[in-house]
């Protein structure tokens, strides 16, 4: 059977939940997760995100006091950019840890920028490496779509607990997840895609019966569930226009990077309310995004606090976009209505780097009338 | 770092070459290979390939003497279609082995078609299962792009050596790989894509130096190698029009499914010559495809020999398409010229289901002049 499959594994794979005491198969984790980071093309994509680059650049160079003469650990150094900037900002020593063969390019880049005496690139998982000393700063760009996809912060926590001095500083220091009700034409597009796929399937079942004598109608239900999950229940990457946000945004998670544990982030649970701000609009679903801050610590603060936000923006969009959770069918709503949302996100059992979301939502109309809307499962893949 | 990566592993992954005595990590093999076959959408794609379906349907039903009252093993049953047809053609017992959870759907399909007394669906790798008896027929649709991509025939060989009776029949019985010189606009498209990517990179290096104080020019060489491999050296799926074939096609491999060993197929080595048939055309590369035949065995032949070909065709194209290996730059050639090709294909060390190709080619012009063209490495990913 010809297939693009081999080597191009789908999102749904058989590795083990890392949220408890279970073992993660490293070969599987590499095949599923790490391998794309070994490509320069992928590194370039991230290095070309000006908002991301500016935030980290400014966070470092506007806060040289945190770096001058200090020891720094860069978790997941990739091309080595943060490690190089840390050295240029005056660090005494930078340990730049990278799990993939990208570490070889990072080493070349460090040398080409004359920083090999300061920056030591170490290939390996940060959970496994041994450093000669504890560090004053841990810097890392670990954020995935909607902050926690990829579950890379687990590795930062592990590094922090082993290698950060008691007085050490985290870069970034804080992270928040946000959600807001949105309108979006995607809801119509995905509905059409799903219905088109089902119509196509029904023709296929008919033809297979007539031409090949096999009745495949028993597979219609599982096929529709599979397609439903794919088209309607999988969150989408999108760059939302600010005008698509139709209600107030709410913080659904706050993380102090200095103290958060893996248990703290395994589950994201939030009940929030959003006021609709637009007259006579369509509630098509919810957009999720995050921001991080570089504030230092209370006893050693940043001189210049920097924010990196991935909120819907006209001219400051990032490669993260936002994650969109669509409502089928969308719902007419208007200024004065309130949307009450229950949000629960957990790691997928099959792959701890992917998420499952239980999202429930009701509308309290301005008249006082309460409309229960739905309770639905979503997948962040 | 936001990335679509986690769960969507690239083609290039860390599993181990299965061509010798080395161990294949099953979790990694699942993450890289098997998982896509667990989706009904993917099964439907293959079941909708009329040429494929017709060939197997006719091979079975025009040769019921091979099935009536017999025991059959379907290797990689997927949805169960071949097992069901085998039962409908009169088999006494069919063992339908499937490594993924698709086996559950196959079991449902068998039941819905009232064949549960004949067809036993077994979930597992065919290398690991135990059958209660040896079989008279092994049927399988194992062919990947350009025949051997996915290396699934290894599993068929394993099943044959363990479970086929000495008098048993293979369905299909024979397979061949073909190559021919082609012309294609893809050569210009990929060249443009590559050059665009390099131009973009050079701008990026410039900006990163000016705006962020990091000189990334040392990465230009590895980046260009990565992009060259991706755009210029990776074989492409394409549905070639017969008019794109500009010279005689040659058989580069013949396989007798009854006797072939894994060693026989680990390497495909062929030196062949092709006569250009078109006046004043562009040799843009080579197209590769395959055919299989259902002939039975010499002492128990098919009553109706069936052929399934994936050669370039106007109205009988298949989901396999052809694999295209592009020549950069393309070469002007004309009727009367001969192209001498040396072709060597081996399994990739990183992933035994993917291939590496060494392709060398020279043109003997009708004048007698010999033009060495190139020797290049390609990747079937």
- The set of residues, in sequence order, having a beta carbon less than 8 Å from that of A170 and lying 6+ positions away, is A137, A138, A156, A160, A164, A257, A258, A297
Q: Measure B4 CA to nearest chain A CA, in Å.
A: 8
Stretch B169-174: mean pLDDT? 98
pLDDT in tens, B249-300: 999 999 999 999 999 999 999 999 999 999 999 999 999 999 999 999 999 9
Mean pLDDT, chain B, whole residue set? 92
Judged by CB atoms closer than 8 Å, whether chains meet at B109 and A214 is answered as: yes
Q: Measure B3 CA to nearest chain A CA, in Å.
A: 7
Give the distance from CA B270 to its chain's centroid. Answer: 17
Q: Report yes or no: B2 at the A interface, CB cutoff 8 Å.
A: yes
Q: Report yes or no: B217 at the A interface, CB cutoff 8 Å.
A: yes
Give the pLDDT score at A1: 59
Mean pLDDT, chain A, whole residue set? 92
Q: Out of B33, B201, B214, whose CB is closest to A44?
A: B201
A 233-272 near B (Cβ less than 8 A): 237
- The set of residues, in sequence order, having a beta carbon less than 8 Å from that of B138 and lying 6+ positions away, is B72, B73, B74, B75, B156, B159, B160, B163, B164, B168, B169, B170, B171
Provide the number of CB pairs (under 8 Å) joining chain A to chain B: 259
Q: Out of B25, B57, B109, whose CB is closest to A218?
A: B109
- Write out chain A residues lying below 8 Å of B5, CB-based: 33, 35-37, 42, 150
Q: Report yes or no: A221 at the B interface, CB cutoff 8 Å.
A: no
Give the pLDDT score at B6: 37
Helix (H, G, I), strand (E, B) or coil at A191: helix
With 0-12 CB in 10 A as exposed, 13-18 as middle and 19+ as buried, what is B234? middle
Tell me the pLDDT band of A37, cut-offs 50, 70 and 90. Answer: confident
Whats the size of chain A, residue-wise? 381
Q: Out of B32, B212, B219, whose CB is closest to A105?
A: B219
pLDDT in tens, B336-369: 999 999 999 999 998 888 999 999 999 999 999 9
pLDDT in tens, A273-291: 999 999 999 999 999 999 9
No. of helices (H) and no. of strands (E), chain A: 9, 15
pLDDT in tens, A74-132: 999 999 999 999 999 999 999 999 999 999 999 999 999 999 999 999 999 999 999 99
Q: Report yes or no: A11 at the B interface, CB cutoff 8 Å.
A: yes
Judged by CB atoms closer than 8 Å, whether chains meet at B223 and A40 is answered as: yes
* The pairing of beta strand B250-256 with beta strand B322-333: unpaired
Please name the residue of chain B whose CA is at the shortest distance from the CA of residue A144: B2
Residue keyed to tokens 């789908």: A10
Helix (H, G, I), strand (E, B) or coil at A283: strand
Residues of A recognised as catalytic: 141, 150
Judged by CB atoms closer than 8 Å, whether chains meet at A105 and B28 is answered as: no
Q: Which helix (H) or strand (E) holds A255?
A: strand A250-256
Query: Is the pLDDT assigned to residue B7 strictly greater than 70?
Result: no
B 297-326 near A (Cβ less than 8 A): 318-321
Stretch A215-220: mean pLDDT? 98
- Looking at per-residue confidence, does A237 or A8 come out higher? A237
Q: What is the per-residue burial (b if ≥16 Cβ within 10 Å, else e) of B275-291? A: bbbbeebbbbbbbbbbb
Give the pLDDT score at B23: 59
Give the pLDDT score at B29: 77
Q: For a pLDDT cut of 90, what percent of chain B falls above it?
A: 87
Query: Is the pLDDT assigned to residue B213 strictly greater than 70?
Result: yes
Q: Out of A25, A108, A145, whose CB is closest to B27?
A: A25
Q: Report yes or no: A53 at the B interface, CB cutoff 8 Å.
A: yes
Judged by CB atoms closer than 8 Å, whether chains meet at A226 and B4 is answered as: no
What whole-number distance in Å separates Cα of residue B129 and Cα of residue B132? 10
Query: Is the pLDDT assigned to residue B11 strictly greater than 50?
Result: no
Our CA angle for B85, B88, B94, nearest 5°, is 70
Stretch A210-235: mean pLDDT? 97
pLDDT in tens, A55-74: 999 999 999 999 999 999 99
- Looking at per-residue confidence, does A35 or B46 come out higher? B46
Q: Report yes or no: A290 at the B interface, CB cutoff 8 Å.
A: no
Give the pLDDT score at A139: 98
pLDDT in tens, A142-184: 999 999 999 999 999 999 999 999 999 999 999 999 999 999 9
pLDDT in tens, A118-148: 999 999 999 999 999 999 999 999 999 999 9
Q: Which has the closest alpha carbon to B323: B64, B198, B146, B153?
A: B146
Give the pLDDT score at A36: 80
Judged by CB atoms closer than 8 Å, whether chains meet at B351 and A11 is answered as: no
Residues of B recognised as catalytic: 141, 150
Tell me the pLDDT band of A308, cut-offs 50, 70 and 90. Answer: very high
Query: pTM of the prediction?
Result: 0.91
Judged by CB atoms closer than 8 Å, whether chains meet at A219 and B79 is answered as: yes
Give the pLDDT score at B125: 96
B 103-142 near A (Cβ less than 8 A): 105, 108-109, 111-113, 141-142
């Amino acid at each position: 059977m010809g297939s693009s499959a081999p080597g191009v594994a789908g999102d749904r794979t058989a590795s083990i939940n890392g949220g408890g005491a279970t073992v993660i198969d490293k070969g599987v984790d590499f095949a599923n997760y790490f391998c794309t980071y070994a490509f320069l093309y992928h590194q370039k994509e991230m290095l070309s995100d000006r908002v991301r680059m500016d935030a980290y650049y400014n966070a470092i160079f506007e806060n040289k006091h945190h770096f001058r003469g200090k020891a720094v650990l860069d978790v997941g150094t990739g091309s080595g950019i943060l490690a190089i900037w840390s050295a240029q900002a005056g660090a005494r020593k930078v340990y730049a840890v990278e799990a993939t063969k990208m570490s070889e390019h990072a080493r070349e880049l460090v040398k080409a920028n004359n920083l090999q005496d300061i920056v030591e690139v170490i290939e390996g998982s940060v959970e496994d490496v041994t450093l000669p000393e504890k560090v004053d700063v841990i810097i890392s760009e670990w954020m995935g779509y909607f902050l926690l996809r990829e579950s890379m912060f687990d590795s930062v926590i592990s590094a922090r607990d082993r290698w950060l001095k008691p007085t050490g500083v985290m870069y970034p220091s804080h992270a928040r997840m946000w959600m807001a009700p949105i309108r979006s034409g995607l809801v119509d597009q995905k509905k059409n895609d799903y219905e088109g796929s089902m119509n196509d399937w029904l023709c296929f079942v008919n033809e297979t019966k007539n031409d090949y004598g096999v009745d495949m109608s028993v597979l219609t239900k599982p096929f529709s569930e599979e397609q439903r999950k794919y088209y309607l229940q999988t969150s989408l990457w999108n760059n939302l226009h600010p005008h698509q946000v139709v209600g107030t945004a709410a913080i659904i998670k706050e993380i102090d990077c200095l103290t958060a544990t893996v248990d703290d982030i395994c589950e994201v649970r939030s009940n929030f309310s959003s006021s609709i701000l637009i007259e006579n609009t369509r509630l098509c679903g919810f957009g999720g995004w995050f921001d991080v801050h570089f504030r230092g610590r209370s006893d050693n603060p940043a001189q210049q606090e920097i924010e990196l936000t991935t909120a819907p923006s006209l001219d400051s969009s990032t490669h993260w976009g936002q994650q969109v959770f669509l409502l089928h069918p969308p719902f007419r709503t208007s200024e004065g209505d309130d949307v009450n949302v229950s949000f629960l996100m957990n790691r997928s059992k099959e792959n701890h780097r992917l998420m499952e979301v239980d999202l429930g939502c009701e509308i309290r109309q301005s008249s006082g009338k309460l409309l229960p809307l739905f309770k639905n499962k979503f997948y962040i893949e």
